[in-house]
Chains A and B, each alone.
Chain A
Amino acid sequence: MKVRPAKKFIDVSAKCSVEGMAYGQCILKNYATISKDSCQAEFSSFKSCVQKQMSGKKW
């Protein structure tokens, strides 16, 4: 079966595992009191890393 876009995307995101893990840990620390943008900083750096890995493609 051909590789679907979502799978490609998540595979690329694995290259930013350090930033990704930081975001995951932030959620893990705050999950009882989570609200919108609780982990905004961690997510931004994770997202910009993934965008860089996708040769600058923005969304």
Chain B
Amino acid sequence: MLRRTLATNAPNHQFNVFDRVAKLAQRSRFPKINPQESKKVEYLRDEVATKTIERLAFITRDLTNTLDFGSNGGNLLKNLCIPTVIPPDASTEMSQHLTQLNKDKLTIRNRISNYTMFDSSQEILHRDVHESYWDAFAGTTDRVVGDEEKFNHPVLKSDYFDSVISNLSLHWINDLPGTLANINRVLKPDGLFLGTLFGGDTLYELRTALQLAELERKGGLSPRVSPLVELNDVGTLLNRAGFNMLTIDTEEIVVGGFPDIVSVCNDLQLMGEQNAVLSRSGYLDRDLLLAANEIYKALHGEKGPDGTVTLPVTFSVIFMIGWKKSENQPQPLPRGSGQVNLKDIL
């Protein structure tokens, strides 16, 4: 009898969208061959790191063992170590804000004793290792190379970390529910998870320009920009992964001033954020490039005072805060235990 060897289940039941092998190669390339250029596009990660610090400042919790999951070059710790320069022409309000931010950086830095950076790319992780700004951090720093999705590195011990922070890395994970559940597992009970993800409107200008160009020139579509998480889904995702007391919000970061679509794509490539969807078409021909560039300008271009049209790029960043479930957490009171009738107040 024939054995049905070809009909066996694949060991991996997961539905994959992203090519993780290609992504790793893309992310590692520029830090390796041209670290100077790849440092120039840190503006986005540094901005998000600063916004993360602003949020961390409101949390007075113990951060002794902190895991930076998908850390890239360690932008969060870098921004904790480098004080923001207050421009001389800043308004009083602005300079007060920045002084507070610098105070917060110091406080947060001192609350961390062990900082573990975890990333799949050896090249990114170690690119800035010789910089002097790390000296401002008194605790110990570990740089660990491991796969974010497999989550099997020995450093990821259960119930070990006081906080896990993950900035702009989870959007390349195929199994997001599984990875969030794993993050939950390595946290101590009542531990903090603070993560950022690119949300639905990210790169919408580029997406629409390429879609229209492809429709009009070729009569079809191919995935040029990753599918992204919608804000509404994040709550369910975090709940499912075992997080409590969620805080979710979104911020739009618009980077303007790109002269053309090639410069936009060039920056994305330098960041290691180019297309890595499994079913991607690896090629954008000249017709499409010409068409998409003009459509981008016509639909989204911004006219400067001297009449030149520049292209903006929107990054919609979802900030999520969740706490691992614990007995000692504040719980909602049981149903029907209210003493005040809301009717009397409203």
A residues 28-52 in Cβ contact with B at 8 Å: 28, 31, 34-39, 43, 46-47, 50
Say yes or no: B216 contacts A36, CB within 8 Å.
yes
- Given A34-B212, A36-B215, A36-B216, the answer on whether A23 and B37 have CB atoms closer than 8 Å is no
Say yes or no: A21 contacts B219, CB within 8 Å.
no
Say yes or no: A24 contacts B294, CB within 8 Å.
yes
Interface string of B284-314 (1 = CB under 8 A from A): 0111011101110111000000000000000
- Given A1-B37, A35-B219, A36-B216, the answer on whether A27 and B290 have CB atoms closer than 8 Å is no
Residues on B with beta carbons closer than 8 Å to the beta carbon of A23:
291, 294-295
A28 to B265, CA, bound (A): 22
Interface string of A6-18 (1 = CB under 8 A from B): 1101110110000
Question: Which single residue of chain A is at the shortest CB-CB distance from B261?
Answer: A10
Main secondary structure of the interface of A (DSSP, over half): helix
Distance to closest chain B CB from A46 (angstroms): 7
Say yes or no: B299 contacts A47, CB within 8 Å.
no
* Total count of chain B residues near the partner, CB < 8 A: 26
Q: Residue B34 contacts which of A1, A6, A35, A59 (CB distance < 8 angstroms)?
A: A1
Q: Residue B217 contacts which of A6, A21, A28, A43 (CB distance < 8 angstroms)?
A: A43
* Total count of chain A residues near the partner, CB < 8 A: 28
Say yes or no: A13 contacts B293, CB within 8 Å.
yes
Say yes or no: A39 contacts B216, CB within 8 Å.
yes
Choose among A4, A10, A38 the residue with the greatest number of B CB atoms under 10 Å from its CB. A10
Say yes or no: B216 contacts A27, CB within 8 Å.
yes
A25 to B298, CA, bound (A): 6
Say yes or no: A21 contacts B216, CB within 8 Å.
no
A4 to B45, CA, bound (A): 25
A1 to B260, CA, bound (A): 18
Question: Which single residue of chain A is at the shortest CB-CB distance from B284?
Answer: A6
Distance to closest chain A CB from B205 (angstroms): 13
Residues on A with beta carbons closer than 8 Å to the beta carbon of B217:
36, 43
Question: Which single residue of chain A is at the shortest CB-CB distance from B220?
Answer: A36
B residues 270-294 in Cβ contact with A at 8 Å: 285-287, 289-291, 293-294
Question: Which single residue of chain A is at the shortest CB-CB distance from B40?
Answer: A1
Say yes or no: B286 contacts A27, CB within 8 Å.
no
- Given A1-B37, A24-B295, A39-B216, the answer on whether A9 and B286 have CB atoms closer than 8 Å is yes
- Report if B263 contacts A (CB, 8 A): yes
Residues on B with beta carbons closer than 8 Å to the beta carbon of A28:
295, 298-299
Say yes or no: A7 contacts B266, CB within 8 Å.
yes
Interface string of B191-217 (1 = CB under 8 A from A): 000000000000000000000100111
Residues on B with beta carbons closer than 8 Å to the beta carbon of A1:
34, 37
Say yes or no: B215 contacts A34, CB within 8 Å.
yes
Say yes or no: A20 contacts B266, CB within 8 Å.
no
Residues on B with beta carbons closer than 8 Å to the beta carbon of A31:
212, 299
Say yes or no: B294 contacts A34, CB within 8 Å.
no
- Report if B218 contacts A (CB, 8 A): yes
Q: Which residues of A come within 8 Å of B, CB atoms? A: 1, 4, 6-7, 9-11, 13-14, 20-21, 23-25, 27-28, 31, 34-39, 43, 46-47, 50, 59
10 further contact pairs, Cβ within 8 A, besides A35-B219, A47-B290: A7-B262, A13-B290, A24-B298, A27-B212, A27-B295, A27-B298, A28-B298, A34-B216, A36-B217, A47-B287
- 7 A-B pairs, CB-CB below 8 angstroms? A1-B34, A4-B262, A24-B299, A27-B212, A27-B291, A34-B215, A59-B286
